[in-house]
Structure formats: C-alpha cells, structure tokens
Structure 1
C-alpha cells in the first residue's frame, strides 16, 4: 500500500479532510503534521471518504486517528487495522481519543491494550478567560502584564508578521536557545522544533490562508512571536510561542494580545501538550485549563 510523505504540496489534498472532522487534538492539523514530518516521517493515504495518517516512533510504525466523518470512522479504523495486518506489523495507534477508544473496545473486545498518555494531553482553555484574565485566579498574570505595560509604555508594538520578519524571528530563536542551554530542563526537541519553524517560514505563502503569525517589538526590536490557527470553527491551536524570558510580562502579554487581536470570537484555545517537562507543565497549569484533550496509545494485546 502506497503512503505519500507529507510535504507542503500535500496541503491541497489533505486540507479538505482536516476540515471534514472536528477533532480537538493538535495532531489533527496540517500545520502540525507538516512541521514535525521530519521527526515522525509522517505519511498519508487517501481512501474512500477518509484519509489515513501514519508515522514512525522509536522504530515502530503507527497510525493516528483517520480523518473521517463520524459515520465512516469505523470503516476507516477497519482499514487501518487491515493495513497493519497486511504488513505483518503489530497494530499500534497513537493520539487516540476517548471516543475512538470506546469504539475500539466495542468493535474489538480484548484485542488491545490502552495506555493513557498524560504527557501528551492537550491543554484546553476558555478563550475569553485568556483574553480578559479576569478573576482572582488570573491576578498574577495581570500583575505581570501591568508591569510590562508600565515598563514599556509607548515603546512596544504588536503586529502580524510576514516574510520580511522571519529572519529576525530565527535570530530570536537562536538567542532563546542559548539561554536554554544552561537550563536543566532543556528539551532535546529544540533543534527539531527549529527545523519545523523554518519549514513554516519557507512555505508561508501556502499556509498563510490558515496560519497567523504575530510579534511584539520593543524599541523596534522583535522580542516575542507566536503562531496559531483555527483547529476547528470554535477552537484555535497555538503552535509556537517564543519570547525574551528576561522581559517580565512579555509571555502573558503576547499570549493575550494574539487572542484579542486575531481570535476574538473563538470559545476555546488549545495550547498543545507539555511533553512531561516539569517547567512547561507548571506554566500551562498556571493558565488554569478548562479541560484536557485526553489521548491514548493503543497496542495489540
């Protein structure tokens, strides 16, 4: 069975299938899969009324949720299972939602082991809460933003970015990475993330129909940037958020301004997973998530 590698030319073919589903997990977005294709060797196959997505992790082939309407999801799952069987591979599914887990338990009793992947749970927030930061629970965030506004009043500019800004964005990432080198929580995926960001910048003309990139300049120098897009009509997913960590309040300020300026009507915000990194988990929890998008790894028993 022939699977095509996901590249920028795949967007035209795959986007209708992403638009077809209402999944809330960050994996089910063309930008996410394209950004990380070099890590997971992600590929796809277009079937009858569905698309199948596959990849590799630690040497094993896996599939994530097929892109299909609810009435076709069981047929698509059967197709995926048949693929593994034809290839003489153990069935291995990642990023499986609670809803599909229940379908598998019903249609394939005692066939699979289900592993709850807390490190991969996406954090979902109330968008209005992040836009207003109202209430006692957000007092610390408001204090940080107020400190930023006091220190940099009249000196900062928020705006959308385009190709002319991307070189400066990469320079900021180099600065950020050098600061992180002394941090015990340094993520081994920094280089992979940088490669993914470069791919997005290079292909911006094609992805800009969905993706928005914004930045904050202080005294004319870019000090923070972020990128996100609608994951479904009522939820925005934030792919990247980078800022100078030495500027108090800059992170919460760009977080807030991006939503206020570009996504003022959405109800929910997906800020992706924490990967089990303690500092990242603490930061994501500090914004008081409304709920999680739970994900399961499914392996043949």
Structure 2
C-alpha cells in the first residue's frame, strides 16, 4: 500500500469520502488534516469504496477512523488492522469513537487497550445558545458582549474576509503573541497553528468552497478573525478564533456574529478540543457545551 501525502491537491480526491461520512469530530474534515499535516505527517490511501488516513505521533504510526459507509466500517477497520500487521507495526488508532470500540471489542476481544483521551474531547454547543446568549448561565458573556457593543458603538464592523485581508490577520496574530508573557501555556503549539493558518490563507481560492473567514474591524483596524465551515449538514466547525484580548467583549462578539451570520441554520457548533491546556479548558467550559465528542486511543494490549 502506498500512502499519498495530504496536500492541497488531495482535496479533490478526499472530499467525496468526507462527504460520505457523518462524523462529528474535528479530525474528519479535509481542512483539519491539511492544516496540521506538517505536525502529523498525514497520508491517505484510497480503496475501492473507502479512504484510510494515517499519520505519525511521537515516532509511532497511527490511523484515525477510516472514511467509509457505516455498513462497510467493520470490513474497513479489519483492513486497517491488517495493514499494521503487514507492516510489522504496533496497532495504534487515534480519535476513535465509542461505536468503533464496540465493533473492536466484539470482533477482537481482549486484544486492545482503550484509553479515554479527555484532552482531545471536542466541545459541542447548542448553536442557538451561542447566537442569543440567553439565560442566567450566559449572563457574564452577555455583559461582556453588551459592553463591547455599547463602548464601541459606530466604530466596529463585522465582515467576511478574503485574500486582501489575510496580511492583516497575520499581523493581528503577531501582535497577539508578542504581547503575551513568555512560556504562557497558550503559546504551546502556536508556531504549528500559525503554519496551518498560513496554509489556509495561501490556498484560500481552493478551500473557499467550504471554509468561511470573518473578522471584526474596530476603528478601521482588524482586531479579530475566525475560520470555520460546515462539518455536516447540522454542525458548524470553528477551526480558529483570534481576537485582541485587550478589547473587552470582542471574543464573545465575534463568536456570536460568526454563528449568527454564517451558520444561521445549524443546530450544533463544534469548537474543537482543549488539548489539556487549563486556560483553554476554562474558556471552552465557560460557553457551556451541551455535550462532548468523546475520543479514545486504541493500542495493542
């Protein structure tokens, strides 16, 4: 089996397989794979009616859920397991759902260890709650948002962004990172994230059939931007959200406006995982997720 590297030319080949499945986790989207390919050395193999994704993490090869129809999933999982055996590699699966664990336990009892990866759980929110921020639980968010709207009345603008705005986005990121203290926990992985954002900007003309990029200008200066797309017909996925942390209420405002303007009909929003970063976890929990997408690692017992 020859695995091709995930690059921008892979999109045309892989998109039909992403469209075939209804997975909700953030990994199962071409943009995510492409953004982070340089970190995980992600590759893919196209079978007769499925696609297999592999990568490397801390020196070990792994696979995520195959892109296959639900009825074909057990057969394709066996295909992946046989690939590891043929390559004399330890079986290592990441981002695995409870549904697939049940298949593995039934077909391969006592062969694997199943490790719950709380740091990788995706946060799922009720989209209407993010749009309206109604209720007592959202009072603090409403207060911050209302402060921004009142304090900057007539001075801000929400708009979709394109190629002509991306240098401003990168400038905002440079400002945001340079103003943070050294060794701040939010800085973990910032270089990798910046590389992924640059890849999106560079290939926006190819990716724009799926992704939406929006920003907030304050006094004619870009102060926040966000990147997202539909991961399925009823769920939006927010890949990136950046804002000037010195402007009170800007984060909740761009969060709300992006969902309200670009994903007005979805029921749910996936805001990805917290990676075990304490501050990020606190921020994501503060929006009161309605559920999590639980993910597991599978290794040989």
Q: TM-score when scaled to structure 1?
A: 0.99
CA–CA distance in 1 between the matches of 2:242 and 2:188?
Answer: 17
Contact 2:186–2:280, Cα closer than 8 Å, also in 1: no
CA–CA distance in 1 between the matches of 2:181 and 2:66?
Answer: 38
CA–CA distance in 2 between the matches of 1:179 and 1:73?
Answer: 47
Contact 2:141–2:252, Cα closer than 8 Å, also in 1: yes
2:51 paired residue number: 51
CA–CA distance in 1 between the matches of 2:161 and 2:134?
Answer: 28
CA–CA distance in 2 between the matches of 1:165 and 1:199?
Answer: 15
CA deviations over 1:14-73 (Å, ceiling 9, x no partner): 000000000010000000000000000000000121100000000000000000000000
CA–CA distance in 2 between the matches of 1:130 and 1:238?
Answer: 12
DSSP 3-state at the match of 2:104: helix
CA drift at 1:181: 3.5
CA drift at 1:188: 2.3
CA–CA distance in 2 between the matches of 1:244 and 1:268?
Answer: 26
1:97 paired residue number: 97
1:122 paired residue number: 122
1:247 paired residue number: 247
The within-5 A match list for 1:35-50 is 35-50=35-50
CA deviations over 1:267-295 (Å, ceiling 9, x no partner): 00000000000000000000000000000
Structure 2 CA distance for partners of 1:105 and 1:187, relative to 1, 3 Å: farther
1:214 paired residue number: 214
1:299 paired residue number: 299
Q: CA RMSD in A?
A: 0.7
CA drift at 1:183: 5.7
2:75 aligned with 1:75, yes or no? yes
CA–CA distance in 2 between the matches of 1:11 and 1:161?
Answer: 22
Structure 1: 4+ residue segments shifted above 6 A: none
2:85 aligned with 1:85, yes or no? yes
Gap runs ≥5 in structure 2:
none
CA–CA distance in 1 between the matches of 2:270 and 2:253?
Answer: 17
Q: TM-score when scaled to structure 2?
A: 0.99
